[in-house]
Structure formats: structure tokens, C-alpha cells
Structure 1
């Protein structure tokens, strides 16, 4: 069973990828072609779930958590194909890496991981007008943004934990859930999508933007507050997140040759070339994310910064991570030097990190403390609810999931 989406013309976008007078690269042509690409396997699963109802949903949930062998009977064709794909890691995945988790992200204190990595990833995602429109569907952007921040933080922490991506583990289930949620939103968005807009809603390129948000952009934000990584740590980061991309259903041509920040920047440049510039929808969504994160952070017991100070800090972080031109397009304010806390924070974080990584033992202790953060209980996969019910359910139940793509 397959899902079919109306394609859009992409030839006019290819010319944006290279200077005038030069032939677009093979990579650029491939990126442009992916403007109209979704996730055929996940799209087909959503179609099957709507057709077969509760039995198919139960089979998918049980198969993800316990493995296909635990199913008493053969699930529908697309569900079986998805379970088979995510059951066994590709040959290029190091099993020991999955047991260790994302050791680079685990070395980041949870406070800074949430404040920098998660906020920047969502802001980068919503810089795409197509993604921003989905956030604003509810008419309550700040409340929705707060839920998205919480969901994104839960998903990310489950994903990077030691063993989090092993079959049936919370991060593994949550990542496939995120993939199905994107397919569900894609199917819903296509019901009233402006077919004159280039690309497919929540297609391959939007998913790649989210992936870059949690790799390149997140670590640019962390570097802005003094939490830097070495070249070897970059390699480990992208090796781990390549498997996350596999579980999310990204086309391998987007991520398999991205092994460090330099490669990620090249991909980022290509994606920006085919993504419409931020509009008022993007700016509203980004402001909602910043406001929601500032409010939530200032309300944490023992917080030492006011909501206004946290907002100023986030403005500075985002300007450093996204770059001033992108920040200007999103109308993220520049912070006056007199109220800029970044120099002090960067100094303190660099000193702390120097002692954390002073020896293998201290580095291991820092990762252990980060991994001990309480883990929320898994919930049934909400992305598989029948068409028209998913959005209502999502407003009533806090799930473990990923940022909206």
C-alpha cells in the first residue's frame, strides 16, 4: 500500500543552489528533487492504520516495543515493512555506540542542553514557513510552543541515553513515533495545503532541517555559551545521529556523507537555498518558542534569572547559532552589550567543562550525572490515531515525541 502526494515543480529552485552560469552539482540536484519527497513507508503505514484501525495500531505498538517476533499474527503489509526496517540497524552502525549512547550530548548539562539545543532546534525548524504554519494551526502559539519544547526535550533525552536507541528502548520507540507523527501531520496538512507552495509539507527537507537543528545548530548554540566539542567529538556526534536519521526515515543522500560540522554546514546551505525565506508566520512561531522557553526556565525552582533576562539570553544564543542574517529575518532582537550575559556565562561554562573533561574519569562522571535525569514513562503511539483525531488527542495528552517538523 502506498501513499501518493501531488508533486510540485522544482526546476525553478535548482538555479538557486549554484551561482549563475554554473551547472548545479549532483548533490544540489538531489536536494531539489527531494522537495517533493515524503517518507513513502511511513505514509503507507498511516494509510494502513486509517484503513485497519485499532488492530493495526496495536500490532505496530507491540512490534516496536517487543519486536515483530512477539506478534501473534502477521500485521498489515506496510506496518510489517516498517517494523522490519527499524528492527535491525544498518551494517554501518556500531553496536557498541548504541550501548554507549550519544556521549557528546550526554556531556552537556541538562539545563544547557534544553536551553540551547532544544530551543535552537525548534527555532531553526520554524524558520521554514511551512513548518511554522503547522504550529500556528491551533491559534494558541505560545501554549503549543511550550508543549513542543517539552516534547522535544523528552524525545532528545530519551534518544541520547545509553541504550536509548536499542530495539524497543524508549528513544527507539519515540524516534519511530516522531517519524509517524510527521507522516500523520503530512497527511493532514495535504488536505488544505496551498499547492502553489514549493515542496511538500513536512517532507524530506523539513525533516532534514530538524535533524540539523539537533546536530549543527544545537552545537553552535552550545558553543555560544562556552560548551565546545573537539573534532573527534564531532565525528562521534554525527555517527550517532546518522542512525537517528535512519530511524526518522531520512533519505541517506542527505546525511550519510555528513561526518562533522563542516559537512553539516554544506547541507545547511543547500537546504536554505530551497527553503522559502521566513515570513510573518515564521516570526510569530519563533517568538512563541522564545517566550515559552523563557517563561518555563524562569519558573523553575531556584532559577536565578528573570523571564526577561532569560529571553535576552535566548536572543543572544539564537543570534550566535543561527547567524545574524537569519536572526534579522526572524526579527530576533539584538541584545545591548550592557545587558549581555554571554561573556560571563561562556567563561564559567568553559572553566566547568575544562574540569569535567580533565580526565576520562571526570568525563564519565559528567555523562553519568546527565544520564540519571528521570525518564518519563512511555505512552501509546499517538501519531497512529485515525485522521482527524490526532490533533485533538495531542492537545489533551502530553506524549514523548519530537519537535514538529
Structure 2
């Protein structure tokens, strides 16, 4: 087979040279059990078998998925590997200081931290930063008005495959009260990045991205080196860049599918701005350009290829437990009657979003996964739709009227900041002491 991505191919193999303690024992020429190109195997891709067959016949995209299955985050992983020398709190503290004040403000900063920050500061020349800023503004309104009602449904969609969900299951971070914290941290990250200037070098979104990268690296390091449950031959690399792509680009997938339904092969100017903003946010998280396509067709192609090559498995002890604990989690900071009502409404919207987007509208399939959409949920949605979607529509229309634009922007920003206060302070940590046994997929 031809090598379509030689630079990416070389980047993967250099990981063993750059960080042998973590990557030295990995066989990058093999593929873990989770990855399958056998047409007879059941994959995570839903739909007609002919669709999967067409994807598997595309050598270029098959290589891309196979290669990025082994792609980690060497600069962040190298910093996380210092856990043997520094406490987790010290590593987090130094990273926060470097993000807020610069690397020179960190006393005796380790070279791994300097390399980590330098990597995040190096903005690729293939990004259009003017579009990035425009895209942040376009993303702010749905993040403030709509995302809070569906984010839980999108979040649990990342737990529907045992091979991809196991790293989070091992951390124990989605059981009990930790489930609420992780959902709020995830929502907070995506919300804070849309604030004006948030992704600038010293912005809060830049720091949040660094913290997310460090958390992923800590999970990766602990799973490979400290967890007897992690089998590289089955699961491959914990949290490869390939598995970060769906969460980072789910909004673009929805945009791409909407464009396809409307018969368009290109995005509008506003949509293209959202694409560029999302790509930059993903770059700060460590994703390579090859996993960040820009057109509707390419976005659908790459995300579908991942599903087509990811072996299907829903282990109830892993996936089911993650879904149930996340759906049961109470996300509010206060326990009042009003907040309880708001929590139940949000859960109903999240359930509906999940059923429509990830089970093809089949409630019985969702129920087997731990998401039960009932009459009470439909009633709550029916009663609140005029407010939830009606308000979003009114604000979106007002934002297009020159005389109301300034007032509308201020309103959305004020609401978004209130949302961030409600999500609480994000910690973005992973402690091996919290790691728990998880179910086996094979």
C-alpha cells in the first residue's frame, strides 16, 4: 500500500525516539484488535454495508485512521511523565503559571514544560486567525443558548464503544460525583473557548486547552504504565489523537450533515468561520492538520472512516456504567426545587438529542445503552421548546440587525459567563489512585 501521509507516518514512529519510556515498547507497524478492515467484522459505523465497503476501499483514509490510532501527544506526554519527580498538583501549578505569565515566570521550569508551551504557541500557518476570531463569535450564541440542553447527550456518545471508552472508565472519573464534575469540565472547556480572546496566547481558553492536554497525557501514561487492565494488543494507545477527533469536531459533523441535506458541497462564510475556530481549538489540543478537514464531504469521510474501522463493542460493565452514571449525574451547583426542575429538563433534551443523533431515532436501542426516553421527557420538552429554541431564534435574528447587534452580543456574553459560573471551577486532573477495574472487550 502506498504511503499517503509520510510526514504523519514519520511523526508516529519518532514517538519511540522522543519518549522511549512511554512509546519504546509499542509496535507501530501493527494494529490493535480494536481496528478492523475486515468487511465481515461488525464496526461502529451504522448504515448500509455498501457504505462501509466503499470506505474500506479508500486506501488513503484507511491509512490515515490506522496511523493516527498510534498518534499520541509527545510534548504533553513528556511533561506528564514527570509525575515521578513532581506531584500532580505541582505539575498543574507550573503549567497554569506558564499559561498565565509565560514560561519565564516558572521558577526552575523543566525543559518538558518549556517544550509543551512552545508547541502550543506555534500557530500553524495553514490557519486563518481572522476566521478563527469570527468563528468564536458565531459559536458563542449556540454555546450560551442551546449547548447546555444537549451537551450531556453529546458527551455520553463518546462512551458507546468499549475500546474508545476504556481509558475514562479506568480512571474512575465517571462514577458517582466525579461524573458530574467531568461533564461540567467538558462543557466549561467548550464554553470558555468561545469567549472574546479566549484562545489568544494568555487567554483562558488557551490555558484550558493546555490543562485538557495534560489530563489526557496523565491518563495515557497511567493506563500504559500503571494499569494492569490496559492491553495494548487489544486497545492500542490510550486516547490517541484519533479518539479526540469526534468530541472536538462533533459540531462540524453536524454542520457537514446539514450542508449535505441541503445539497451543498461547501460551507457558507459563517460556517467556514466556525470550522476554522474549531480547527484551531483542536490544534491547541494537539490534533494534527490531517484530522482536521475543512469541507462537508471530507469531514463526513474522515469521521465515518473512524467508525468504519473501529470494531463494534458495547460492554455494559464499561460503556453501560459510564452512560448510566453520566445520565444520573446532577450537574447543578445548588440543590433547590428550581435547579432540580432545570436539571430534569436538561436531561430530557439530552436524551432526545442522543436518540436522534446516535441511535437513528430508535428508543429501544438507546434504552439498551442506558438512555430511556419516556413520556415525561417529551412533556418537559414540549413545555419548554418555545422558550429554549424560540429564544435562540429571536437572539440569532436580532444579532443580524445592525441596530441590535451590540445589545445582542452583550446579552449572549453575559449569559455565557453565568453558564461558566454554574459549571464551577474546572480541575482537569487524573490521579492513578482513583483508577478502577473495567470490563473486558475481548
TM-score normalized by the length of structure 1: 0.77
User: Which of 277, 283, 287 is equivalent to 1:240?
Assistant: 277
Specify which of 269, 278, 283 is matched with residue 320 of structure 2: 283
* 1:37-85 per-position Cα deviation (integer Å, ceiling 9, x unaligned): 2112211222245346688766544322222355566x43332222111
Shift of 1:181: 0.7
Question: In the alignment, which residue of structure 2 is the partner of 1:254?
Answer: 291
Question: Partners in 2 of 1:174 and 1:348 — Cα distance?
Answer: 31
Greater Cα shift, 374-383 or 361-370: 374-383
CA-to-partner distance for each residue in 1:138-160, whole Å, 9 max, x for gaps?
39724221111111122122111
Q: In the TM superposition, what is the alpha-carbon distance from 1:197 to its structure 2 partner?
A: 1.6
The aligned runs of 1:326-365 (5 Å cut-off) are 327=366, 330-336=369-375, 339=378, 342=381, 346=385, 349-358=388-397, 359-361=400-402, 362-365=404-407
Contact map agreement 1:124 1:322 (CA 8 A) in 2: yes
Shift of 1:186: 0.7
Q: How does 1:97-136 map to 2 (within 5 A)?
A: 97=131, 99=133, 102-108=136-142, 110=144, 112-116=146-150, 118-136=151-169
| 1:165 partner SS | coil
Q: Which residue does the alignment assign to 2:408?
A: 366
What CA distance in whole angstroms lies between the structure 2 residues aligned with 1:379 and 1:318?
26
Partner residue of 1:270 out of 293, 305, 309? 305
Distance 1:304 1:110, change over 3 A: farther
- Quick one: distance in 1 between partners of 2:248 and 2:125? 21
Distance 1:208-1:168 versus aligned 2 partners, 3 A rule:
same
Alpha-carbon spacing, 1:57–1:135, altered in 2? closer, same or farther (3 Å): closer
CA separation of 1:20 and 1:207: change in aligned 2, threshold 3 A: closer
Asked if the contact 1:163/1:169 (under 8 Å) is kept, the reply is yes
Q: C-alpha deviations, 1:85-113, integer Å up to 9, x for none?
A: 11132223334455556122211263532
> Residues 72 and 201 (structure 1 numbering): CA distance in 2 closer, same or farther, change over 3 Å?
closer
1:34 correspondence with 2:68: yes
Structure 2 unaligned blocks of 5 or more: 1-17, 44-51, 259-266, 436-442
The aligned residue for residue 26 of structure 2 is: 6
DSSP 3-state at the match of 2:146: helix
2:103 alignment partner in structure 1: 68
1:168 corresponding residue in structure 2: 202
CA-atom RMSD, angstroms? Answer: 3.9
Q: 2:185 & 2:143 partners in 1: Cα distance? A: 18
- For structure 1, which runs of at least 5 residues remain unmatched after alignment? 222-229, 393-405
Describe the SS at the equivalent of 1:162. Answer: coil
Q: 1:301 to 1:174 in 2, by over 3 A?
A: farther
Cα distance between partner residues in 2 of 1:216 and 1:32: 21
- My pick for the range that moved more, 242-251 or 202-211, is 202-211
- 2:11 matched to which residue of 1? none
Correspondence 1:208 to 2:208: no
For the Cα contact (< 8 Å) 1:155–1:175, is it kept in 2? yes
TM-score by length of 2: 0.71
1:398 aligned residue:
none
